[in-house]
Amino acid sequence: MRKTILITGASSGLGQGMAEKFAAKGHNLALCARRLDRLESFKSSLLEKHPNIRIELQSLDVNDHDAVFTVFKAFQQSFTTIDRIIINAGMGKGASIGTGYFEANRETAMTNFVAALAQAEAAMEIFREQNHGHLVTISSVSAVRGFRRALNVYSATKAGLTTMTEGIRIDVQNTPIKVSCIHPGFIRTELNEKVKKVPFIVDLDTGCAALVKAIDKEKPTSYTPTWPWLFVQQLMRWLPDSMLKKFS
């Protein structure tokens, strides 16, 4: 059992939803996010329901790359060992390239890819030292193609995260270190609560249950919820550009 799990971006959305599911399964949690006050409130609510687990918190902005290494190492020292690290923190700001939103697009690129690289580096240093562990990256079904508008940069960062994760997995093949890339479909969170027309979207609880199920299987690549996204992502690879508009 992966007893102790570290999750970034755990103060809301998918990070918080996954933490709730793992807590219910009896896992100890190392949770970090920028909003420590929200994490503290969340910790209290979790311990009321699951008093036999251990939860440690750290404030972390994943774009502070030095802090990523410091926080991950602090969690390892506190728990002695970290069994699974879920790189979840991300954002979806931005707009079509060339429409005056460079700063928002840059922030998304830095958070979703460069900061993910820092987290992967810090995680893999721990796992290589321990000679065991499970690295999980939260990508997106949007990684399979390029998309318009706000997804211009977002989908590119997720494609980069997917291929980086694959490379890490090949690097440690045939070792006790496992590496998984999870591609969620559309799940209702704070990031997309204002977007009304989204195909196949599911609520947060349903989406996070599917994520945790996929993570626990420790497959190299997963699309969640499996139906319809395992089928849809295959279809998306062959759709003409004109039809991709329906997904963004």
Cβ of 196: how many Cβ atoms within 10 Å? 7
Q: Spell out the alpha helix ranges (H) of the chain.
A: 13-24, 36-49, 65-79, 102-109, 115-130, 151-171, 204-217, 226-236, 241-244
Cβ distance 168 to 116 under 8 Å?
no
CA atoms within 13 A on the CB side of 67: 12
Secondary structure (H, E, C), 38-87: HHHHHHHHHHHHCCCCCEEEEECCCCCHHHHHHHHHHHHHHHCCCCEEEE
Catalytic pick among 154, 223, 229, 247: 154
As a whole number of angstroms, the distance between CA 62 and CA 176 comes to 27
Number of neighbouring beta carbons within 10 Å of residue 62: 27
154 has catalytic annotation: yes
> Radius of gyration over alpha carbons of the chain, in Å?
17
* Sign, Cα dihedral of 142, 152, 96, 245: negative
Strand order in the sheet with 55-59: 55-59, 28-33, 4-8, 84-87, 133-138, 177-184, 221-224
Q: Annotated active-site positions, please?
A: 154
